Structure 1
């Protein structure tokens, strides 16, 4: 690509981002930067001007959870693309809000250049966010957002809507009886809205279904025990479901271990390896992909552009989506083993010969 064409392509990508293009625009910018020479007369990434080595910090509620492996990959990839240091990944290993707030304050006091925060609590991060913004540090919410807070934007799934759609999906299989729903952090803004959505949907379309939540805990290693104990106490349950990654993977393990395929309906969230195997084997009817990679990649990109433009390129609210992964479409997830879903494969993934028709625009 010529320098003139590369510069034009980058300008078009930036214009699209500034207009609120969201996740789709990231691929345009990625193409634009990759089409240029590594350095230009501007001295920065692609044709951008030279910048300081901006330091970004991600504050997370379960820093060692497998779900966030692609999120960390995404933030690292974006930083490398833009010539920035690898962002810091910090917070709590078990959903401790005080630990997260302390990490937030440490980042502010350390004068980092941008903060991405999973707003799992309504109150704990209000004052730290105000302090960050007062010092000129942009703050973006990712994975979870909260009312009454002040992030510049949110990058993540519309959690309540995803739960509502999951409830509608459950009602296709179950119209009465008990279902168990695992939740790693009851009340947490990253998962509770999904449970609320499931409950509300079933009240509308399958009022004969009783929803009983199961507190599986924030520590991934203990979730299988919690789900197993709940099922052993309610073997009459018509379905086993979950609103977080670890609980979903645990349900897949339980059904496989007990040979319950075809005897009970099940489903949940995210693309951990046990979950994908469960979908492929029929242990799970479905899982929901929320694009964890984008939840790391896009905040870095947005904070970079916000600083680069002196706040003129305001980060857009970005719903990272909802894809139901079923036995019909799980194949590529399993065979690719891609870094975009937490796998080890970093190679180019071949495009399919045709693309399924998406839902029509409203």
Structure 2
């Protein structure tokens, strides 16, 4: 696609602070695209918990067909008090991930200069890794149910689904990413306690490792791995895990990096057959929604990942470099980072920090 042909971007601000951080990220996107001669064509959708309470559905029946016409999706946050989490997530986020085969959930973790980690030994320049989470099967399946509800015999059954095709493709993506980074991969497992799915996962890790001989790999049980994230986060490069393990590890890692408010994520369809979706890791934060103090950096970084996915690596680097500069300077920060800046002020500071083109 030439730089003169607009990329079609679906904006779904969603709930709570999503409605504040997505417009902030859009301003940064617009500034970078203007500098680089790129064009984005936006369509905004009000799909949210508010829509659910008003119309009985998080999004309309043809929502996925509409999204399929776009090149990428930028999402703010999903969830709000009064609407159960399983309703909001299964009514919007998870159908998008599954319909568009966004089987890679990518979450970069980095300690930035000027932003202290709660871990004494986690230093800028040393902690820089990526969690690769399988995103469409595993423990988050729809198979199962409840019987004898309300009786002493009440029973809930939840099935995990691990397919050879699904596990193989996430492992190949993770090994390939490690090969382009520092050549180290760690697999999260629990085969000493989960007797069927995790040994299957481990077998496929060994199988796919043989196809990537340049990558050094090991495996860690999830409990020990969580401890090592805290004790020695600098040792990791690429960490790959199932849907549940990757979800937990990536949130832990974001906290290690200093603030979940800056953590981004990408839901990728690597083959490009469907649109990919980009979203901050933080939730809708109803306690601060509407006050204009939410940290926009997680969404801004997610927007940078979107540009990178669309083939605009230099524009993406412009944004992440500006973010790093703002954090290192440390004068403009939202309350979660110990400052008093508004969402808009921090976003404008990122725009100001964009380096002149050489």
Answer whether TM exceeds 0.5 for this pair.
Answer: no
Identify which of structures 1 and 2 has the higher relative contact order when contacts are C-alpha pairs closer than 8 Å and 6+ apart: 2
Larger radius of gyration: 1
Q: TM-score, normalised by structure 1?
A: 0.30
